[in-house]
Amino acid sequence: MAYMTDRKRANGWGSAKSGTMHHWSMTVSSVALVILVPLFIFTFGSILGSSYEEVTAYYSRPFPAIVAALTILVGFKHFNSGFQTLIEDYVHGPMEKVLIIGMTCLSYGAAATGIFAIARLAL
């Protein structure tokens, strides 16, 4: 008969020491997206359906280009953090690390592609 204390039973099930920081990061990026997404919709919506020359001229102005770049950057950062939480909760073993690395590469690559496209339009 094995007698285990509460502490011994809970050993290894404790905090990973990063949950509060992750939650705070998700909260900050959510608030940023609440501000950025409507700005992006209004700036992008006003130029939607225009010719390439008009879009290039519009995004060569700083405000629409900065709003679009920040929306892409913060959106993909928020997506990556949320998907990482989903993987950590539901996938275990070596596949967990593979999926986290793959999703991080994919989201940073997509963000870099979006920022590059905005820079090409703006410059």
pLDDT in tens, 19-48: 788 889 999 999 999 999 999 999 999 999
18 is written with which tokens?
Answer: 């990063």
The reported pLDDT for the residue numbered 33 is: 98
Residue 84 · residue 104 · CB < 8 Å:
yes
For the chain, domains (ranges, CATH) are 20-122 (1.20.1300.10)
d(CA 121, CA 119): 5
pLDDT in tens, 53-99: 999 999 999 999 999 999 999 999 999 999 999 999 999 999 999 99
Q: What is the DSSP string of 98-114?
A: HHHHHHHHHHHHHHHHH
